[in-house]
A and B are shown apart, each in its own frame.
Chain A
Amino acid sequence: MMLEHVLVVSAYLFSIGIYGLITSRNMVRALMCLELILNAVNINFVTFSDFFDSRQLKGNIFSIFVIAIAAAEAAIGPAIVSSIYRNRKSTRINQSNLLNK
């Protein structure tokens, strides 16, 4: 398993996550694309920890921290989306202007 191939896969996941995060019109799909971006970061952490730092393993510890932050984000995100859905009956991003008035 080459290091470059893993990095290319990680860069692919990162760019497609950013594309989906910008262009999606559904809030839940935007949250899914955010998970893709965090997973690309995690792949890089674990790969570099395995290749360069296989005794200390500090990249693994950082990836565990990133997973914990992603869990907190995935708890907050659907709660906010469901609160918006309860008020507006829609989860479209381009229609949510609750802070506008």
Chain B
Amino acid sequence: MGLPGPIHDFLLVFLGPGLILGGIGVVLLTNTIYSAFSLGLVLVCISLFYILSNSHLVAAAQLLIYVGAINVLIIFAVMFMNGSEYYKDLNLWTVGDGVTLLICTILFCLLMATISDTSWYGIIWTTRSNQIIEQDLISNSQQIGIHLSTDFFLPFELISIILLAALIGAIAVARQ
């Protein structure tokens, strides 16, 4: 089902530093256009990671919507609105930044402690044993399509209405 071994390992080696350095770059780069491209790197790495975890439909949706639409829109907004005002932000390191950095580090350490304390493999074995009985007749994308048109039909339609209203609202706000 998955990719062959060397490609899998190469992607894993490439993905971790890409995600970490890209995440730092989005926040810490002073020029906004560089941080927008760094966000694009992060989104592409996340899409490759979805391919590694056997979720090809979500990987395609991530690549199309996030990289193709949202990131391009953000880069367009940066190019449209930024003059030369980012040079004034260079030497602003206030107390609030330090406090926020401390709080976010504490939050990250708490999350890591919780992750390492939980016994995930007990949960995996209890749920895997129920699933072995069912046969793998249809692929993942077909499974998602069946769920979207039966169980999640009402949320699917509501999402489409929300998207339509958001697009109309965005046009109405932007062209006044």
Partners in one complex: yes
List residues of A whose CB falls within 8 A of some B CB: 1, 3-9, 11-20, 22-26, 28-29, 31-33, 35-36, 39, 42-43, 46-47, 49-58, 60-61, 63-65, 67-76, 78-83, 85, 90-92
Q: Separation in Å of the A83 CB from the closest CB of chain B?
A: 5
Given A67-B66, A68-B163, A78-B74, are A16 and B49 neighbors across the interface (CB < 8 Å)?
no
A12 to B108, CA, bound (A): 6
B53 touches A29 (CB 8 A): no
Which of A4, A8, A15, A50 has a CB less than 8 Å from the CB of B55?
Answer: A50
Q: Separation in Å of the B15 CB from the closest CB of chain A?
A: 8
- The 6 A-B residue pairs with the shortest CB-CB distance, nearest first, are A72-B166, A20-B27, A11-B111, A78-B77, A79-B170, A15-B108
B7 at the interface (CB under 8 A from A): no
A5 to B104, CA, bound (A): 19
A79 touches B58 (CB 8 A): no
Given A22-B100, A46-B53, A52-B127, are A82 and B174 neighbors across the interface (CB < 8 Å)?
yes
Q: Separation in Å of the B81 CB from the closest CB of chain A?
A: 5
List residues of B whose CB falls within 8 A of some A CB: 12, 16, 19-20, 23-24, 26-27, 32, 35-36, 39, 42-43, 46, 49-50, 52-55, 57-58, 61-62, 65-66, 69-70, 73-74, 76-78, 80-82, 85-86, 89, 92, 96-97, 100-101, 104-105, 107-108, 111-112, 115-116, 120, 123-124, 127, 131, 134, 140, 143-144, 147-148, 152, 155, 159, 162-163, 166-167, 169-171, 173-174, 176
Inter-chain contacts of A5 with B (CB < 8 A): 16
Given A43-B46, A90-B85, are A79 and B32 neighbors across the interface (CB < 8 Å)?
no
A29 to B30, CA, bound (A): 10
Q: Can you pick out 10 interface pairs between chain A and chain B where the beta carbons lie within 8 Å of each other?
A: A15-B104, A19-B104, A20-B27, A25-B92, A29-B35, A36-B39, A39-B42, A47-B53, A54-B54, A55-B143
Q: Which of chain A's residues has its CB closest to B134's CB?
A: A55
Q: Separation in Å of the A33 CB from the closest CB of chain B?
A: 7
Q: Which of chain B's residues has its CB closest to A22's CB?
A: B100
B39 touches A74 (CB 8 A): no
